Structure 1
Amino acid sequence: MNTVILNDTLAMIDKLKTVCANYGLANDSSEYKIITESFLYKYLNDRMLYEFTKLPEFDGCEGTMAIEERYRGLDDTARDMLQLELGTTAIVRPEWMVSSLHNRQNVDDFARQFDEALLGIAQDNIEVYSVKAGTEAITLFQGVSRFIVEENKRNGFCAALVNALSDFSFADAFSQGYDFFSQVFEYLIKDYNKDSGSYGEYFTPHAIANIMARILAPAGDRNVTVYDPAAGSGTLVLALAHQIGERDCTTYTQDRSQKANEFMRLNLILNGLVGSLANVVHDDTLVSPRHLGADGKSLKRFDYIVSNPPFKCDFSDTRDTLASEKYAQRFWAGVPNVPAKKPEKMAIYLMFIQHILYSLKPGGKAAIVVPTGFLTAKSKIELAIRTRMIEKGMLRGVISMPSNIFANTGTNVSILFLDSSKRYDHALLVDASKLGTKEKVGKNQRTVLSGEEIERIVTVFNNAEEQDDFSVLADYKAIAEKRYSFSAGQYFEVKIEYVDLTPAEFQTEVAERMAKLRDLWSEGDCLQQEIEERMKAVRLA
């Protein structure tokens, strides 16, 4: 990876954040929209210009300025042809290019022109780049000047954004690939994805995403579907799509968080999965799953499902609806109750596990992040779900991760790996809780896995390898006997160390230990006598 290009990209993001800070919007709820819209606008602008270099219409053009001038000189018919040639690459009209706006930044109504450019680009590309929100659509951009309350400062604000964008080019970044853009994306949103525990806004560390992807599809796959019903910013589906091969899979996601869906769309665009944008849905997965089968009524089933669902969340408004007969087939194990005093503690992840099992194709595979407490919980719903996994022969294994693997939650987590492509009679249970090193992330501590530790986890799991106090192959019968516990520690062999002794050595060892015991008894008798004398003295006093 080219670290110079990476550092330049991160520096551009920092400049955008500085502009927001200078105009009083640092840590404002609107900041993430301004940063992500500006960043994406620049990315799409530069991507279009980069794709132009591959077309015969731009032969002989040396450098970006020459390409832009050639583009400005084309008539409407030629520009329409370009759109056909570029396919899913977004089209930015000549007057809306970054360079064009940069040249007009001193006009009296520049803020209006900047917003019109963003809104116009969104409208021109709505068929490919919008996100479904129920039956409506969320377009690519909504404009940014509205977040500056004082109208007389809007022109300067928008000009400052354009200047930050003009100093940078993505041209050299497009060949860098997934590893590059995953780092850029994580840096871009790291300050805006802090709502720990909120629906759809967990940030899944790349180490976990990497482990899940490499275990689910170690050799890739062909022409498959990948789904996450609580996708958040898309870390898991993107990692798996990269492992499978971006051209060999189509991703489907849903999340009821608008912010998460905006991040998801950005992530797909950066990583070359524009064709999957139509499958990004902003809606409540449990109540209104929007990915349907060919009949338009039944739920679509998927080859791969990955998810880090919200563990606990207030679903009191829809709990009774989900418990009704209409949803009984999907939520066969039951619906958890809403805690009376703390509705936000409802164990909503149990609903997502059931939804995932229902949405998995015959022969499909899944990986689900769950609270480690789920592995041994004795409550009705948890026990029913674990029992079903064993009875269906689909539990491939479990990995229990170190504490604080997430910087924004102290909940211990484990990963369930399910595989219905064959019937298993045993599962590999891995206890990786002792791995990793602690590092400070803001005010919190996070456990970070080294590359070697990640390799160990993946290799041991994919090879179904047993290692002392780390991994064990648990027979399904043994699992059933232990109340369907998925905790590795309950299946490790208890080892008792012993030393070979001759009869004479044994007698000597016994004599020495008995002597020590007699000394301890004698010392105890002296202490007891001393205590009794002191108590007697206290009574007499």
Structure 2
Amino acid sequence: MITGELKSKIDRIWDAFWSGGISNPLEVIEQITYLLFIRRLDDLQTLAEKKSNRTGRPIENPVFQSGQAELRWSHFKDLEPGVMYKVVGEQVFPYLRQLGGDGSTYSEHMKDARFTIPTPALLSRVVDMLDDVPMQDRDTNGDLYEYMLSKIASAGQNGQFRTPRHIIQLMVDLTAPGPTDQICDPACGTAGFLVASSEYVRTQHPSVMTDEQQRQHYHRSMFHGYDFDSTMLRIGSMNMLLHGVESPDIRYRDSLSEGAAGEEGLYSLILANPPFAGSLDYESTSKDLQRVVKTKKTELLFLALFLRLLKPGGRAAVIVPDGVLFGSSKAHKDLRRILVEDQKLDAVVKLPSGVFRPYAGVSTAILFFTKTNSGGTDHVWFYDVQADGFSLDDKRTPVAANDLPDVLARWAQRDREERDRPRTEQSFCVQKEDIVGQGYDLSLNRYKQVVHDEVEHRPPLEIIADLEELDGEIQRGLADLKGMLS
């Protein structure tokens, strides 16, 4: 966790941006991202210089050429604010835009970098704050950036890009990424799922940092994310960098479009919260996806995309709106039938409707499935999450009630003890035959049994007799009162 002192610095910088006229939290993050990248370039050059001094060999592919010292963070950070502002705006940012690349995807996302910090004083404050952060400390870097990203949501704008961190962590814990996985989020936003996966692999499989082959895979070919928002790509890429992943595959792509072809069967794990508030026209949508499910609804098209991107044996954990579970259109039914009959549907975890407040009150669930192309669904595990550790109103304050640890514990038992639990419980299994009999309806309430407590009522005549006695007492009381007043 970052310290209170560092948090307060970020808060002051944030306030300064807002008072300086930059009110879009994404633009604030974007400007800080550029500066973090500039500092990273200087760190890379410094490391190369130290290596060159030790070995006596010239630097291969230097980031900065001779005569470009003024572009380096270590140089301009000590300049007077007005001079620094001119150097950064007129020299450093044009250099970023023409940068061919340092072997990473980051420089590709910097090619349209815009410098919009409004004043020299603000730039100087931001540079001073970032210069205090120990960039070699991966945990501090990651926590710093996560804290800034959380402000996107708290600012009340563009909150759709932020899946709650504890929900992301639950999905990662349940799917347990391994060191050989190829992990993809086709709607990656700020790369929250990829970051959480990288942290899980690093923690649970320390060999990825010591085994050379695994380490190369971890840094260069394990993590893949697509988005069609260039700002998101920059932010997501930097989020991965600051969490210690050197060169993830974070690329521009409209995942559902006709032009996004290829990459079928490449990934072993998909984690995603795709956009599900809209529809596309048939002409612009991939014909391959339309062959799987004829629809314009983005939530159904993304599910079809996930099935296409997964390799056989690959698994997915994805958030869907409740309508996917029980929608009555042919497309809805076809997709659910495919998941149950052609693939292996593992689980449906129902989330409380307040999870995405204050930005949306939509009811959602997490679908877990495995691509087999040959069926395999024997039973489906259902869990009704009623509390996620936060209040379900717009404030989302921490509370004691939290089902998520129980979800994780019972998930491990879903093929054993959970199969015998009655459907009156919070989690239970449903046989495939029952789901087929219900027209592939996957809504939890379709299968959950509610037990009503038996209540014994008194005979009506006995209740009437009591009422008559009370009425008599009232009448006698009124007569006594009249007598006292006469």
Q: CA deviation at 1:396?
A: 0.3
- Answering whether residue 223 of structure 2 is matched by residue 280 of structure 1, we say no
Q: How does 1:19-58 map to 2 (within 5 A)?
A: 19-27=16-24, 30-42=27-39, 45=42, 55=51, 57=53
One-letter amino acid of the counterpart of residue 237, structure 2: R
Q: Distance in 2 between matches of 1:353 and 1:424?
A: 17
Q: CA deviation at 1:519?
A: 3.3
Q: Distance in 1 between matches of 2:392 and 2:450?
A: 33
- Answering whether residue 174 of structure 2 is matched by residue 215 of structure 1, we say yes
Equivalent residue for 1:128? 103
Q: Distance in 2 between matches of 1:420 and 1:115?
A: 52
Equivalent residues of 2:193, 2:271 under 8 A apart: yes
Instruction: Pick closer, same or farther for the CA change 1:331–1:214 going to 2, 3 Å.
Output: farther
Q: Secondary structure at the match of 1:320?
A: helix
Equivalent residue for 1:427? 380
Equivalent residue for 1:80? 60
Write the deviation string for residues 474-493 of structure 1: whole angstroms up to 9, x where unpaired.
10001111221222333234
Equivalent residues of 1:404, 1:445 under 8 A apart: no
- Answering whether residue 206 of structure 2 is matched by residue 235 of structure 1, we say no
Q: Secondary structure at the match of 1:128?
A: coil
Equivalent residues of 2:99, 2:111 under 8 A apart: no
Give me the identity figure in percent: 18
Q: Distance in 2 between matches of 1:438 and 1:379?
A: 34
Q: Distance in 2 between matches of 1:165 and 1:177?
A: 10
Q: Distance in 1 between matches of 2:198 and 2:15?
A: 34
Using structure 2 for the length normalisation, give the TM-score. 0.77
Q: CA deviation at 1:386?
A: 0.8
Q: Distance in 1 between matches of 2:376 and 2:387?
A: 31
Equivalent residue for 1:417? 368
Aligned length in residues:
444
Q: Secondary structure at the match of 1:227?
A: strand
Instruction: Pick closer, same or farther for the CA change 1:106–1:334 going to 2, 3 Å.
Output: closer
Equivalent residues of 1:394, 1:420 under 8 A apart: yes
RMSD: 3.9
Q: Secondary structure at the match of 1:126?
A: coil
Write the deviation string for residues 451-473 of structure 1: whole angstroms up to 9, x where unpaired.
96322111111221535521011
Question: Which of these residues, 93, 96, 115, is aligned with residue 144 of structure 1?
Answer: 115
Q: Secondary structure at the match of 1:387?
A: helix
Q: Distance in 2 between matches of 1:210 and 1:289?
A: 32
Q: CA deviation at 1:314?
A: 5.1
Equivalent residue for 1:518? 461
Equivalent residue for 1:473? 429
One-letter amino acid of the counterpart of residue 166, structure 2: A
Q: Distance in 1 between matches of 2:83 and 2:452?
A: 83
Equivalent residues of 2:378, 2:431 under 8 A apart: yes
The answer for unaligned runs of 5 or more in structure 1 is 60-73, 85-90, 149-153, 294-298, 337-346, 500-508, 526-541
Using structure 1 for the length normalisation, give the TM-score. 0.70
Equivalent residue for 2:294? 334
Q: CA deviation at 1:384?
A: 1.0
Equivalent residues of 2:96, 2:110 under 8 A apart: no
One-letter amino acid of the counterpart of residue 144, structure 1: F
Q: Distance in 2 between matches of 1:352 and 1:162?
A: 40
Q: CA deviation at 1:162?
A: 3.2
The answer for unaligned runs of 5 or more in structure 2 is 203-207, 209-214, 469-486
Equivalent residues of 1:404, 1:447 under 8 A apart: no
Q: Distance in 2 between matches of 1:232 and 1:283?
A: 12
Q: Distance in 2 between matches of 1:223 and 1:480?
A: 35
Q: How does 1:58-73 map to 2 (within 5 A)?
A: none
Question: Which of these residues, 164, 170, 194, is aligned with residue 205 of structure 1?
Answer: 164
Q: Distance in 2 between matches of 1:43 and 1:185?
A: 18
Q: Distance in 2 between matches of 1:209 and 1:227?
A: 14
Q: CA deviation at 1:391?
A: 0.4
Question: Which of these residues, 401, 405, 408, is aligned with residue 458 of structure 1?
Answer: 408
Equivalent residue for 2:483? none
Q: CA deviation at 1:119?
A: 3.8
Equivalent residue for 2:275? 310
Q: CA deviation at 1:423?
A: 1.8
Q: Secondary structure at the match of 1:414?
A: strand
Instruction: Pick closer, same or farther for the CA change 1:83–1:143 going to 2, 3 Å.
Output: closer
Q: CA deviation at 1:155?
A: 4.5
One-letter amino acid of the counterpart of residue 226, structure 1: I
Equivalent residue for 1:102? 77
Q: Secondary structure at the match of 2:189?
A: coil
Q: How does 1:234-253 map to 2 (within 5 A)?
A: 234-245=191-202, 247=215, 249=218, 250-253=222-225
Q: Secondary structure at the match of 2:316?
A: strand
Q: CA deviation at 1:56?
A: 8.2
Write the deviation string for residues 13-57 of structure 1: whole angstroms up to 9, x where unpaired.
3343244245333448743432332344345545765x5798584
Equivalent residue for 1:365? 315
Question: Which of these residues, 265, 271, 277, is aligned with residue 243 of structure 2?
Answer: 271
Instruction: Pick closer, same or farther for the CA change 1:189–1:44 going to 2, 3 Å.
Output: farther
Q: Distance in 2 between matches of 1:398 and 1:356?
A: 16
Equivalent residues of 2:182, 2:268 under 8 A apart: yes
One-letter amino acid of the counterpart of residue 294, structure 2: G
Q: CA deviation at 1:439?
A: 6.7
Equivalent residue for 2:211? none
Equivalent residue for 2:350? 400
Instruction: Pick closer, same or farther for the CA change 1:156–1:26 going to 2, 3 Å.
Output: same
